[in-house]
Structures are given as C-alpha cells and as structure tokens.
Amino acid sequence: MPSTITINMNKKPIYDIRIENDFKALPEAVAGLGFEGKRAAIVSDSNVAPLYADEIKTLLEGVCSEVFVVSFEAGEKSKNMDTVTTILRQFVEHKMNRHDFVIALGGGVVGDVAGFCAAIYMRGIDVIQVPTSLLAQVDSSVGGKTGVDLDAYKNMVGAFKMPRLVYMNTATLKSLDARQFYSGMGEVMKYGLIMDASFYEWIISKMYEIHDRDADTLEEMIAHCCACKQRIVERDPHEEGDRALLNFGHTIGHAIEKAKNFELLHGECVALGCVAAAYISFKRGKLSTEEYYEIRDMFVPFKLPISIDDIDAQNIVELTRSDKKALDGGIKFILLKRVGKAYIDTSVTREEILEGVKEIEYREDNE
C-alpha cells in the first residue's frame, strides 16, 4: 500500500516522502509543487538512467517545459567535484534558471551528487529525490545531506539541501543486483539496533519475505526505516546531537571502505563496523556475550560480512582518525546499551578501536 510520511521542522511540514510502487503519481506531485512549465534535469547514473530515465522523462514532459537527462558513470568513484562540474555545465547549456529543478534518480551516489549540484547551482535550486537502491530508499534520500568525496576523504565537501519531495518507487528494487540489495540491509539492521528493538525482531521474523523481495514486506520495511530517520532528522536536522546515532557502525565502516579502496559496498562495511562497535560495547560490559554474538550472527542471513581478511588493523585505526567526523573535534563513537538503544561516546580509545577491528579480522575460528 502506498504511503506518505511528512518531514516537519519546527512543527512546519517541509517535504513528503512518498512510498509508491510505480512512477504514475510523479507528474501530479511535480505539478503540485509548482513545477509546471519549468525545466527538469534528471540526473542519474549509467546503470539507472537506461532503466528508468525515459519513463520519467515521458511522464514529466506533459508537465514541464523541458526535461533532459544528465548521466554519469555509476559508482562511488564518480562521487567527486569533476562529476559535479560536468553536471553543472550541462545545467548551463540547458539554460537552467533558479526556478527550474533537479530530479536525482538513482542510488545514494546519485542522490548525494545531484543533491549537491542542486544545492550550489545559482546558490540553490530545488531537488526531488527519486531513490532507486534499497540503501537510498531507507537512508540517504531522506534528511537533506548531500556532498562528494575529496581525495581519500569521504563526503568531505557538501551541503544540507532539503529535497522538495522524496518519491520512491519500490518496484525499482527488482532490478537491483543481490549484493547491492543486501548492502541496503546493513542500514536497515542499523535502525533496529540503534533505536527500535521490536523492528529488529520484525526484520528477523521476515527474513524469508525479505530474501524474496516480497513487495508488501519491502514497502513496510522501507516505510518503517523512513519513519525512524524522520524521528531523528526532525529532532536534529543539522547533526548537532542525536543524529550522530545514525553513524553507528560508520566510523570503522568508513575506514574499511577506504582501506579496501571501495571494493566492499557501503552497507557491507557498515555491517562490519556494527559488529566491531557491538564488540566494543560488549567489552565495556554494556552487552552480554549472548547479545553480542546474536547481533553479530544476525548479519549473516542477510548476506552481510561479519569478518574480513587482508586488512591491517593498525591502518584501519589510523583511518578512523582521518574521518571527516574525527577532524571535527574528536570521534563521537556510537555504542549500544542494548539492542534498540544506542548512545554517543567520546571516550572510546585507540586501543578499544583496535580491539574492535581485530575482532572482525578473519580467523579460521571466526567464520
């Protein structure tokens, strides 16, 4: 069943998240936002554009004065300033003005790049997020964070840019390859672990339906994740406090992502980071042995890694220090009090991080 979640700030509605199973309602939604007669730039990547851009272009041509597609090569490696410059040039060539708008059609990379282009083009034009990967539907399309990587620094340059609408068609998940799908499950599990124990139990109880990508189950799961993210971003839109809880698993996760030169997917690294952070929580006496192993082992049915070979644990610890968040005045590490309750801890030491990383280092007895 299609559903809508409204994001409010200071008790005022800012934008809707529409969870649909086709693109049919998009033209009406676009017109409703006052974009009739405006130009639409569909920004997408080389995998998603061939699948969905034409359909959206045709649908919007009845509403907009011009609809054009700008596509860049898929993958995290494109998430940089060069791609941004190329896209902005296309905006100029198509004479985009301040009243025109961007449609970010794709996964988290497209959402971050296109959202950032919208944030800076002519000091900001509107953007509609149309996320197509599970990760983007449950996480990155909501909340208004946009940006690109700079050299080894992930998401180093960016802006907060609230979308005017997030429109997701859950049927697009059918074309997502299995590894990408399960990568998104890393973030889904994260919501359960940090803030919602009953949702965590629900995910586990729906394991088989999730594997089968049962449409109703996915819709319910995505809506629940968006509601979790809504609660957090409404409370803390600019990450001054609680929003950092969403970084559970990400300090070590990002470091692994970098160390492995982005060969592992974001959600896979998040899963590893969650295991390491759960281990640190366990060592601090917050979680029992059983709780820790249960958390660790629950990633396995969702085809996410819980150990990794060929890493230099010391190097991973160093990389956690070069994280953008670390530059911003020390690491705010996210630990668990129990399943469903995370907290921010600024006292986690280098040694503890090292121990956490060593715990997920592949060993014969660790599989």
261: left (phi over 0), alpha (psi -120 to 50) or beta: left
Residues 340, 197: contact at Cβ < 8 Å? yes
Given the complex with ligand NAD, which of 39 and 172 has the nearer CB atom?
172
Q: How long a stretch of residues is the chain?
A: 367
Collapsed DSSP state (helix, strand, coil) of residue 3 = strand
Q: Which residue, 99 or 238, has its beta carbon nearer to ligand NAD?
A: 238
Element housing 335 (H / E): strand 333-338
**Region of residue 18 (phi > 0: left; psi between -120 and 50: alpha; otherwise: beta):** beta
Which pair of structure tokens corresponds to residue 291? 């709780």
β-partners of residue 12 are 9
Residues that bind ligand NAD (CB under 6 A): 45, 47-48, 51, 74-76, 79, 106-110, 112, 132-133, 135-136, 139-140, 143, 145, 155, 172, 175-176, 180, 183, 266
For ligand NAD, the closer of residues 228 and 287 by Cβ is: 228
Q: Which residue has the tokens 């020390």?
A: 330
Query: Which of 66/76 has CB closer to ligand NAD?
Result: 76
Provide the Cα torsion 192, 20, 58, 75; round to 10°: 10
Q: Which two tokens stand for residue 162?
A: 């609230």
The least CB distance from residue 268 to ligand NAD, in Å, is 10
Least Å distance, CB 238 to ligand NAD, is: 12
* Least gap, CB of 87 to ligand NAD (angstroms): 15
| 66-72 β-sheet, strand order | 3-9, 12-20, 165-169, 126-131, 101-106, 39-45, 66-72
Q: How far is the CB of 292 from ligand NAD (least distance, A)?
A: 25
CB nearer to ligand NAD: give 83 or 281. 83
Nearer to ligand NAD, 179 or 350 (CB): 179
Closer of 33 and 74 to ligand NAD (Cβ): 74
Tell me the closest approach of the beta carbon of residue 248 to ligand NAD, in angstroms: 12
Strand partners, 345: 333
Shortest reach from residue 43's CB to ligand NAD, in Å: 12
Q: Specify the amino acid at residue 167.
A: Y
Cβ at position 281, least distance to ligand NAD in Å: 22
For the bound state, the minimum distance from the C-beta of residue 270 to ligand NAD, rounded and expressed in Å, comes to: 9
Residues 286, 336: contact at Cβ < 8 Å? Answer: yes
Q: Decide if 332 contacts 346 (C-beta within 8 A).
A: yes
Q: Which is nearer to ligand NAD, 76 or 361 (CB)?
A: 76
